[in-house]
C-alpha cells in the first residue's frame, strides 16, 4: 500500500482505544456465569500492537515499546505519521522506517535511545526491553524483545503478536546484533512479565515484510560499553 494512502488524520492524543473482549456463558452447579472469552490470536495482540500497513512494523514496534513497556500509550498511526513527516519520505516509501527514524521521534518526546552492539544477556541484566531487526528467509522485520530466559526469547511481533522463540533460532535471525534501547530513563519499565509469557506459544516467528534496504547502519552504534 502506498504511503500516500496511509497518511490518515492523526489525533493529538497517543492513546489507542482498547478492543473489548467477547464473553461466553459458563454453567456450573445449575448456575450460569458470563465470563470473558478471547482467542489465542487476540491474546497474542493484547500486549503487542498489530501493524496496520505493509511496511509499518517499525512504527508498530515503537508504539508497542512505549505503550506496554514504558507506560506511555501510543497509537501506531500517530507514530507512523510523525516519523514519516520528520523522515526521508522517498526512502521510507521504498524501505520503511529505520532505527534512526525511531531515535528521532523518541528524542522529540524527551527520551534517549541508541543502538548497542551487546549480547542478549545484557537485556536480562539491565531488565529493559529492546527493539531489534530480525531476518527470516531474506525478509527483515522489527520486533520488540519483551523478555528472555535461558532457552527462549519472548518477542512482540507486530505481524503475529507475542510469541517465544528458541534462543539459538533467535540468534540466527538476529543478524544485526544490535539492541535499540531507551536509556537514562527514571520511570518504571516493564520487562519479562509473567502475563506476557503466558500467551506465548513455542512457535517460529512469522515472516516479516521485505525491508532489505533498512540501512540501520546509519544509526550510530555503541561499542562494548553498557546502557
Architecture of the CATH domain 41-198: Alpha-Beta Complex (3.90)
**DSSP line for 44-64:** HTSSSPPP-STT-HHHHHHHH
* Residue 24 confidence (pLDDT): 54
The residues annotated with a catalytic role in the active site are 57
pTM above the 0.75 mark? no
pLDDT < 70 positions in the chain: 1-41, 201-227
Domain ranges of the chain: 41-198
Read off the pLDDT of residues 55-66 as tens digits, 9 standing for 90 and up: 789 999 999 999
Amino acid at each position: 500500500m502506498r504511503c500516500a494512502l496511509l497518511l490518515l488524520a492523526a489525533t493529538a492524543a497517543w492513546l489507542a482505544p482498547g478492543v473489548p473482549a467477547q464473553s461466553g456463558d459458563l454453567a456450573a452447579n445449575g448456575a450460569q456465569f458470563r465470563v470473558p472469552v478471547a482467542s489465542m490470536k487476540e491474546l497474542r495482540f493484547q500486549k503487542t500492537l498489530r501493524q496496520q500497513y505493509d511496511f509499518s512494523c517499525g512504527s508498530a514496534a515503537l508504539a508497542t515499546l512505549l505503550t506496554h513497556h514504558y507506560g506511555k500509550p501510543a497509537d501506531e498511526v500517530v507514530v507512523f505519521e510523525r516519523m514519516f513527516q520528520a523522515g526521508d519520505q522517498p526512502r521510507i516509501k521504498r524501505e520503511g522506517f529505520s532505527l534512526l527514524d525511531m531515535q528521532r521521534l523518541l528524542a522529540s518526546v524527551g527520551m534517549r535511545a541508541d543502538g548497542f552492539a551487546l549480547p542478549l544477556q545484557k537485556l536480562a541484566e539491565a531488565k529493559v526491553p529492546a527493539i531489534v531487526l530480525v531476518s527470516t528467509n531474506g525478509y527483515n522485520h522489527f520486533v520488540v524483545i519483551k523478555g528472555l530466559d535461558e532457552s527462549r526469547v519472548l518477542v512482540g511481533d507486530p505481524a503475529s503478536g507475542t510469541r517465544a522463540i528458541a534462543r539459538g533460532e533467535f540468534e540466527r535471525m538476529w543478524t544485526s546484533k544490535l539492541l535499540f534501547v531507551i536509556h537514562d530513563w527514571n520511570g518504571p519499565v516493564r520487562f519479562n512479565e509473567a502475563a506476557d509469557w503466558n500467551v506465548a506459544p513455542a512457535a517460529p516467528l512469522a515472516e516479516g515484510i521485505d525491508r532489505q534496504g533498512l540501512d540501520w547502519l546509519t544509526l550510530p552504534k555503541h561499542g562494548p560499553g553498557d546502557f
